[in-house]
Amino acid sequence: MTRSLLDFADWTAEQVQAIFDTADVMHEVLARPVKKVPALQGMTICTAFFENSTRTRLSFELAARRMSADVVTFAAGASSLSKGESLRDTIETLNALGVDAFIVRHEASGAAHLVNKYSAKPTINAGDGRRAHPTQALLDAYTLREKFGSLEGKKITIVGDVRHSRVARSNAELLPMLGASVTLCGPATLLPKELARRGVTLTTDVNEAVKGADAVMALRLQRERMNAGYLGSLEEYAATYQVNEALMERARDGAFVLHPGPMNRDVEISGSLADSPRALIVRQVENGLAVRMSVLYHLLVGRGA
Amino acid sequence: MLKIVNVKRVGSDAEEVLFVDGDKILGWNLAVDADVTLDGGGGTIVPALIELHAHLREPGQEEKEDLASGLAAAAAGGYGTVVSMPNTSPVVDDPAIVRQLAEKAARLGFARLRPAAALTKGQQGKELAELALLKDAGAAMFTDDGRTNEDARVLRLGLEYASSLDMVVSVHAEDATLRADGVMHEGEVSEALGLPGNPAEAESARVARDIEIARLTKARLHVQHLSTARALDLVRRAKADGVPITCEVCPHHLTLTHEHLRGFDAQYKVAPPLRTSEDAAALLRGLSDGTVDAVGTDHAPHTSSEKERDLLTAPFGIPSIEVAFPLMYTRFADTLGLQKLVDLFTSGAARVMGWDAPTLEPGAPADLTILDLDTERAVEPSTFRSKAKFSPWAGEVLRGWPTLTLVAGRVAFQRGA
């Protein structure tokens, strides 16, 4: 088993399957009255969040605590680097305090790789720049697998700001590995043509993108994108690319809707669709906890899963 | 009187003896007595190399480099003359700073320093600096390197003014708006890594504009550190049209590509960025066919901790002044030949600057370098004279290391000394 989860470059479908199988077990743990196992007792896990993210951090911290690990949190704004301390110094300091594993969120792509290089400890990428957010992709795939049984042959469409989305990049790595095809869709300014590869197609035509899809994921659209010139207005975006009931008519009957959160209701996704039974958004969050417990288990305890 | 025994000239296997009298070359194989004898060890003797693009960081950023470390590093790299870039703190846009730098460098006695001065006040690209006074103070050329000249009219005026002073203007040719926040070459690798890209067209679009301004002003324009096949081709065509333009390329753009960034190592972060292998091959063709006038290093030292940051926050720049010649010799001697390679580091650089081509003939300044073309030695950053003790070529085994650098008849560097 890979010792770190930075992206899916050196992962196999079998290893991912093992993560999913253990996540099933973790779900059982989470259903018990005492939602705690001693698997990581005596270990210290550091959530090193150089970029703010309350939701992801809470999910990881809860996952670690459910497995009896001690958790220390390093929370720094981007200012810590401008104070002159390098990422290397920060990580070496934390390492010297006896941390057993790092969970890293950083605004710079590749930062998790650097943490892993400087610490030589198991490292989980909790989102680095635009690069990767592998546990989000795992929980997305796990949630879809829960509904479909298998992802083989499924068409998954991802709509929104693909350019700046680590969630889209990680899903475009993982889902084809599990047999699904991925269609990335968004305005041309937010859809880098270089992302096309085997199992991944690109289109700016949202109707075409959603046609026959088994699931559609909407990505968060940030207001800053307008100021940066990527878009005319959020209203225009919503009128053109919003994932809503009318658009979902083009998908397969009963197709599911996902969103990595946090949502801008009625911008990238209609509020009513987000609240509908076909939306898996709350289930994604629930599964995130089990999947992250499973990842921690495999990286810190599991052997050759 | 000094004599250097046991040296060869490029293209010859004959061992010869060179006599130096004071700061001038006296002649070859003379029947005269010398006070001091140096053994060239069978090395090849060439005019001292000329670096037309180095960042020595003084004044203001001495933690990265200063004149003493930078010029010692240059001498160790075989350079006898260094043109330093003015993007220091404060900017070299004041004649007094030019004088201070030149005087300090002369006291140090390593490589000669020829400071470049800013083309515009504070390198802000808005108002011309005091170009005539800067020239009087000893400025060797004008450039806003480190910044891009966004205002085409200001560049036009600067070229016209510099031309009246018979001075060259060099430019960092990148459209800053098209480059935007790019930290590496825009393409497949930048998208795979999720890093903001800098498209090749940011360079070629700006080179196209600058060629037209050079055409308009008929003034000498030098384009620094070309990185793309497209921009090089534009220069090739402009030269064919008779536009008075010269250009340089850097060792890193010839030997490294954007693929090297896959490990997220900020040592490879440089501006303009490492491009594709096709671009590197095109640049090498540009060296062969004469489109490229010179090799400049763009030696850009930083502290190690700065380069250990992530790719968004680490500074741009690769230090290379101590390895440039051996690197180019080891990789490209077969393609280019030794004479061509030496020309790119000497007479080509002199031509860009508007200086006489350096020679080893009697009466010429005694600025010379002995190269050991045979002994293999690995790049070992901890031994660098530069304060920047890191290198993307660390561990690479190279040949063509300088063993002796003489500047104005003085030993500025001797390997093992």
Q: What is the pLDDT of residues A70-99, one digit of tens each?
A: 999 988 765 455 555 678 888 898 899 999
Let me know: does A284 contact A20? Beta carbons within 8 Å. no
A87 lies in some domain: yes
For residue B381, being part of any structural domain is answered with no
Do A113 and A194 lie in a common domain? Answer: no
Does any CB of chain B come closer than 8 Å to the CB of residue A166?
yes
Q: Cβ separation of A109 and B195 shorter than 8 Å?
A: yes
Q: How far is B269 from chain A (nearest CA, A)?
A: 13
Task: Say how many domains are in chain B.
Answer: 1
Structure confidence by residue, pLDDT tens digits, A102-117: 999 999 999 999 999 9
Euclidean distance between CA atoms B363 and A50, whole angstroms: 63
B265 to chain A: closest CA residue: A114
Phi, psi of A26 (to 5 degrees): -65, -35
Domain boundary among A115, A132, A149: A132
- Which among B192, B196, B308 has the least Cβ separation from residue A87? B308
Q: Which amino acid is at B139?
A: A
Judge if A75 and A188 occupy the same domain.
no
Is residue A296 domain-resident? Answer: no
In the structure encoding, which two tokens stand for residue A120, read together? 């030589």
Is A20 part of a structural domain of the chain? no
Tell whether A154 and A272 lie within a shared domain: yes
Residues paired with residue A105 on neighbouring β-strands, in sequence order:
A49
Residues A52 and A193 in one domain: no
Residues of B in contact with A82 (CB under 8 A): 313
pLDDT of residue A303: 53
Q: Are A40 and A56 members of one domain?
A: yes
Q: Do A129 and B195 touch (CB under 8 A)?
A: yes
* Amino acid letter, residue B393: W
Q: What residue of A is the nearest CA neighbor of B190?
A: A194
**Looking at the complex, does the CB of residue A115 fall below 8 Å from at least one CB of chain B?**
no
Are A98 and A173 in a shared domain? no
Catalytic annotation, residues of B: 298
Q: Are residues A147 and A276 in the same domain?
A: yes
In this structure, the answer to whether residues A276 and A140 fall within a common structural domain is yes
Bridge partners of residue B21, in order along the sequence: B24
Q: Mutate which of A51, A89, A114 to disrupt the B interface (most B C-beta within 10 Å)? A: A114
Residue in B260, B305, B310, B311 to test binding to A, most A beta-carbons within 10 Å: B310
The CATH number of whichever domain residue A106 belongs to comes to 3.40.50.1370
Measured CA distances, B23 to B81, B346, B350, B362 (Å) = 14, 18, 19, 11
Indicate which CATH number applies to the domain containing B148.
3.20.20.140
Contact A166 B191 (CB under 8 A): no
C-alpha to C-alpha distance for B27 and B24, rounded to whole angstroms: 9
| A51/A188 same-domain check | no
Domain finish residue from A116, A132, A148: A132
- Is B392 inside a domain boundary? no
**What is the span of the domain harbouring residue A172?**
134-284
Q: Flag whether B313 is in a domain.
A: yes
- Secondary structure of chain B as H, E, C letters: CEEEEEEEECCCCCCEEEEEECCEEEEECCCCCCCEEEEEEEEEEEECEEEEEECCCCCCCCCCCCHHHHHHHHHHCCEEEEEECCCCCCCCCCHHHHHHHHHHHHHHCCCEEEECECCEHHHCCCCECCHHHHHHHCCCCEECCCCCCCCHHHHHHHHHHHHHCCCCEEECCCCHHHHCCCCEECCHHHHHHCCCEECHHHHHHHHHHHHHHHHHHCCCEEECCCCCHHHHHHHHHHHHCCCCEEEEECHHHHHCCHHHHHHCCHHHCCCCCCCCHHHHHHHHHHHHCCCCCEECCCECCCCHHHHCCCCCCCCCCECCCCCHHHHHHHHHHHHHCHHHHHHHHCHHHHHHHCCCCCCCCCCCECCEEEEECCCCEECCHHHCCCCCCCCCCCCCEECCEEEEEEECCEEEEECCC
In a domain, B346, yes or no: yes
pLDDT of the residue at A1: 44
C-alpha–C-alpha distance, residues B237 and B250, integer Å: 21
> Which residues are CB-neighbours of B413 under 8 A, at least 6 positions away?
B72, B75, B76, B78, B110, B402, B404, B405
- The pLDDT value given to residue A200: 97
* Predicted local confidence at residue A82, as pLDDT: 54
> How many angstroms separate the CA atoms of B74 and B401, rounded?
13
| Number of structural domains in chain A | 2
CA angle B346, B348, B349 (to 5 degrees): 70
* B311 touching chain A per CB within 8 A: yes
For residue B250, give its domain range: 48-359
Stretches in chain B below the pLDDT threshold 70: 417
Residue A220: inside a domain, yes or no? yes
| Domain assignment present for B353 | yes
Same domain, A184 and A151: yes
Q: Say whether residue B312 is in contact with chain A using an 8 A CB cutoff.
A: yes
Nearest to B305 among A86, A109, A166 (CB): A86
Quote the pLDDT of residue B417.
62
Q: CB distance from A3 to chain B under 8 Å?
A: no
> Residues of chain A whose pLDDT is less than 70?
1-2, 77-85, 303-305
* Residue B110 located in a structural domain: yes
Q: Is the dihedral of CA A270, A271, A276, A279 positive or negative?
A: positive
